[in-house]
Chains A and B, each alone.
Chain A
Amino acid sequence: MSTDKLRRMADQIARNFEAIGHDNAVLATADHINKFWDPRMKAGIFGDDWGQLSPIAAAAVEKLAKGANPPPQTGATEFNKVDEVGHNDAG
């Protein structure tokens, strides 16, 4: 997949988490990519030149590439458990 587009997506996510502080934003960006990106998109960004990413995005991608599996950082990634209703009805 076009790494330009993946880069743009990762930077956009990072930019919108920026207000919560660098460390939190790194975790939130990593969590977001982990929960919403298809494996080939993840592979695409992992194999990219991280130097071209914003610092937050680069740190997030690095974490994931090294195998991190961050716990949910936002309400949007706290999905319903198996028998749960209404915890996160993201429709």
Chain B
Amino acid sequence: MTVLEKATPIPAGRREWSEPVKRNLGLVGVLIAILAVGAITRPDLFLDLDWLWRNELLILTQASAIGVITVGMTFVMIGGGIDLSVGALVALTSVWCTTVATQQFGSLGMIFTAVVVGVIAGSLNGVLIAYGRLVPFIATLAMLVAARGLAQMISGKLTQRVDVANQFINQLSFNKILGIPALVLIMLAVGVLGWILLNRTTFGRRTFAIGGNPEAARLAGINIRRHLVLLYALSGLCCGIAAIIVVSLSSAGAADHGDLYELDAIAAAIIGGTALSGGRGTIVGSLLGVVIFKGITNLFIVNNLEQEYQLIVKGAIIVAAVLIQQFRVSSLRRRTSG
């Protein structure tokens, strides 16, 4: 059981802030820095509180699809795996739920289809990894290629518009509840549920255990294979939810949806403090990572700057985040061993 104790993120009753909390505060600092740069470069906009509120809601709305995916990705990565297929699964589920045949069943039928297809495809990833003994990188890479191909096959590479009859899906990207866009609320709900699942349930503790030390987890009696399947199914479920968000935002399903989402989600999880080696990570950190990336995109476009700059800045942020992480870990080790 030592593994479980070690992996539990927040030791109770300690006065000093734990490592993840410190890191998340750092990420909030980055967000504030982005706002500060905005205030300096476009004071006419960023100092207008009304505009600022609308713009921040826009950033969160644009972050919602990747945010939901990143929650699933965080689970997979804490469990010691990786899911490269998320972007392709968004494409596949978005196409599957917007075919003429599916749309006959109304908005609920579309949501059901997206979620079920996502879960099935995710489970397939899990089965290949857990029972087929494929390396996660390879299994999900194969799924990336195949799902994208299937999406192209189903859609005939055409953009599948949401039928006007399916008002609920159409209106989702317009609706607000108490002034907050519905899509943002979906992301927050997924985030909260993910946080509870990760930090307050056996499922979450097992995830940390498997990622931290699979052998110890096995000896502790955890059914690792079944748990891995569940983790990838969870990631697939998140892809299905994200597909609904993307379909609503763009009013269409398409085989080119979710382009490079896997990289965005992995990068966000990593700057949020999730370890590629598994056993470590937080939902809050991952979501902050997503918002930082979308905030940078927004900052550059609002300043009417071309994309090439923001790509470079994003790359630099990923490197900086990992370097800080390594530095912290090694200094921590020195302190404990010294």
A binds B: no
